[in-house]
Amino acid sequence: MEAPWHFYFLACLFILAGILHFLFPRVYRRILPPWIPSKTMVVYVSGVLEILFGTCLFFPSFRIAGLYGIMILLVLFLPVHTNMLRDSNAAMGIPSWILLLRIPLQGLLIYWVYTYL
């Protein structure tokens, strides 16, 4: 059964997000909470995982694993959003109201991914 266009859009969104980790690693290191060790490695590993899980969505036998992987990543990324709210350096000048909106948006993204299971 062919998936809807928005399913493939989701896959491409995560692949692109993963690629951005390699193009702009300094930005991603900056937003990580201070308690996370080996920030560079975390940035690259999370980028690889986003690319991997997004790619999984294009292969029917790996779709479920990709969907669960994306949902896990979205949950794991929540501390980044709260760190950006607390640390003005990590916020990079983004207004607080936008940073606050990102938290429920993360929940909506998780729900969006969940709807494909």
pLDDT tens-digit readout, 2-51: 899 999 999 999 999 999 999 999 999 999 999 999 999 999 999 999 99
- Geometric angle at alpha carbon 56, from 44 and 52, rounded to 5°: 10
Q: What is the pLDDT of residue 23?
A: 98
Q: Across the chain, what does the average pLDDT equal? A: 96
Does the reported pTM lie above 0.85?
A: yes
Residue 1 has pLDDT above 80, yes or no: no
Residue 112 vs residues 23, 74, 75: alpha-carbon distances, Å: 27, 11, 13
For the stretch 62-69, contacts whose Cβ atoms lie closer than 8 Å and that sit 24 or more positions apart, written own/partner, are 63/3, 63/116, 64/117, 66/11, 67/113, 67/114, 67/116, 67/117, 68/117
